[in-house]
Amino acid sequence: MSREQLVVQRARKSFQTGKTKLLEHRIHHLRNLLRFVTERRKDIAESVKKDLGKSEHGTELFETLGLEGEIKLAIDKLAEWAAPRPVEKSLLTISDEVFVHPEPLGVVLIIGAWNYPWAVTLQPLVGAIAAGNAAVIKPSEVSCHSAKVMEELLPQYLDKDLYPVVTGGVPETQELLKQRFDHVFYTGSSTVGKLVMEAAARNLTPVTLELGGKSPCYIDKNCDITVACRRITWGKFVNCGQTCIAPDYILCEPSIRSRVLEEIKNCIKEFYTDDPKTFEDYGRIINKQHFKRIMALMEGSAVAIGGDSDESQCYIAPTVLKDVTGESKVMKEEIFGPLLPIITVSGVEEAIQFINEREKALVIYVFSHDNKLIKRVIAETSSGALLANDCLVHFTVSSLPFGGVGNSGMGCYHGRYSFDQLSHLRSCLIKQLKLEGVNSMRYPPHTAKKLSW
Ligand code: NAD
């Protein structure tokens, strides 16, 4: 029996004892998870520093703060989320009990990605624990330091059988995917997402796919361009552009292009100094393979800002590309790195057309003073989310479902959405064994007389 088989078997056996159905059990483990995140803050930050060159405060801001918020919310709201939910009654059910009863699904497989190795792996875990599931946690092998710390330290805080951490690369993940789960929660690329869904289909296992894609960013000329560019520069270059919801490329009219370039240039200097390479808040590309992939994306486009790189350190400067068209190499795949192409369009009409000709994105960004224009983009496009006049921050709003649509994913999480996503919302109808007379119409013989009653 493989290690993966054994781990899943143990998790299922432990789930079958029924202990995760108790809310006290879930609260206890959520509190332990919170204790883990607070007590092990330094270990977490060090692992991310080794993986992505991120500063301690950067990790706190982008990984652990949000995670802590999600855990606290789940602890606070669990009784409400898990309670039976009465639904509207009809004449036929007026004297019955009609409600939705959330129940755990069973054993969930959580497969994490490397770019925010703690947030994207442990936030789904919050939902899994809150909903009363067992969960097998598979951190990404690419962020190997974070995976190692997770494997070593998390079992000191959580039940080892119910919430095991399994490390390893593609073969281990594939072995895990051969096992029967009750839900697979995957974060990563669309290409691997398809493989995950295919494997899950063999057992009719439902999936949540948190994928990526090219998130467009339209800057209207009726806009505070200085503020817009500050927010875009931040959203793009944080974590060296290795953010699933980073604005992938800018669309704007030719008349504002040089102003946009100028403002972004100033912001890069303000945020990361003249020498981002030596500045502690500017990280690194995760590995050489991604470094080479990102460098190759620049071919055929002109560098307007930045462009420096150092392969030995996996460093690529914050870079803005001009003279880019929809056919350029950099527009053929999700960039997932610190390159920001600017494409000119004649106005919002053409921007919408450009967006709609491509796969559905995880987010569409719009910067404008004109609320009508923003509403028009909402009405005429589709994406996982739409954020106007800012970048990334919708991820931190627990009352909004976070997820993609089409090529950017399926299903969603955060706050109550995580709980619902990893629960079965069971329909319950409790009738009384009286008032049998009203049922006569449905019993044979089916006569016209009965129907006219
Ligand atoms: P990755 O290479 O770490 O892969 C993610 C997971 O898939 C890992 O745990 C890995 O073990 C597993 N995996 C990889 N290849 C596999 C295969 N052939 N079979 C089975 N399992 C396999 O991460 P990545 O895919 O490079 O992640 C980057 C992508 O993730 C980007 O597209 C990004 O936009 C997306 N992402 C999305 C979100 C979101 O919330 N929507 C968050 C973070 C990242």
pLDDT in tens, 359-373: 999 999 999 999 999
Q: Is 113 in the pocket of ligand 1 (CB under 6 A)?
A: yes
Model confidence pLDDT, tens digit, residues 150-194: 999 999 999 999 999 999 999 999 999 999 999 999 999 999 999
Q: Is the pLDDT of residue 52 over 70?
A: yes
The helix or strand, by DSSP H or E, that contains position 247, with its residue range, turns out to be: strand 247-252
Residue 378 has pLDDT above 80, yes or no: yes
In angstroms, what is the span from residue 187 Cα to ligand 1's centroid? Answer: 5
Q: Which residue did the predictor score with more confidence, 437 or 290?
A: 290
Question: Checking DSSP bridges between strand 85-86 and strand 97-104, what pairing results, if any?
Answer: antiparallel
Q: Hey, whose CA ends up nearest to atom 17 of ligand 1?
A: 170
118 lines ligand 1 (CB under 6 A): no
Residue 453's pLDDT is 59
pLDDT band at 42, cuts 50/70/90?
Answer: very high
Amino acid letter, 99? F
Token reading at 365:
């960004």
Q: pLDDT averaged over the chain?
A: 96
Whose C-alpha lies nearest to ligand 1, atom 9?
140
Ligand 1 within 6 A of 173 CB?
Answer: yes
Q: Which of 133, 184, 181 is nearest to 159 (CA)?
A: 133
- ipTM beyond 0.85? yes
State the virtual CA torsion across 228, 319, 267, 367 in degrees, nearest 10: 0
Lowest mean pLDDT among 28-42, 154-168, 179-193, 437-451: 437-451
Torsion angle defined by CA atoms of residues 232, 238, 240 and 242, in that order, rounded to the nearest 10 degrees:
-90
Q: What is the pLDDT of residues 203-243, one digit of tens each?
A: 999 999 999 999 999 999 999 999 999 999 999 999 999 99
Asked if pLDDT for residue 127 goes beyond 70, the answer is yes
Identity (one letter) of the amino acid at 373?
Answer: L
- Out of 118, 125, 192, give the residue to mutate to test ligand 1, the one with the largest number of ligand atoms within 8 Å of its CB: 192
Listed in sequence order, the residues at least 6 apart from 140 whose beta carbon sits closer than 8 Å to its beta carbon are 111, 112, 113, 114, 117, 121, 146, 147, 188
- What percent of the chain is predicted at pLDDT more than 70? 100
Q: Rounded distance, CA 419 to CA 124, Å?
A: 9
Instruction: Please tell me the predicted confidence (pLDDT) of residue 439.
Output: 87
Q: Which residue has the higher pLDDT, 116 or 440?
A: 116
Which residues, including other chains, have CB under 8 Å from residue 49's CB and lie 6 or more apart? Answer: 55, 56, 59
Which residues are the active-site residues? 210, 244
Lowest mean pLDDT among 55-64, 198-207, 257-266, 345-354: 55-64
pLDDT digit string, tens, across residues 397-434? 999 999 999 999 999 999 999 999 999 999 999 999 99
The predicted-structure confidence for 252-305, as pLDDT tens digits, reads as follows 999 999 999 999 999 999 999 999 999 988 999 999 999 999 999 999 999 999
Tell how far the Cα of 213 is from the centroid of ligand 1, in angstroms: 12
Q: Ligand 1: which atom is nearest the Cα of residue 409?
A: 41
From 116, 120, 170, give the residue whose CB has the most ligand 1 atoms within 8 Å, as the site to mutate.
Answer: 170
114 CB under 6 A from ligand 1? yes
| 444 three-class SS | coil
What's the rounded Cα separation, in Å, for the pair 107 and 53? 34
Residue nearest to atom 14 of ligand 1 (CA): 170
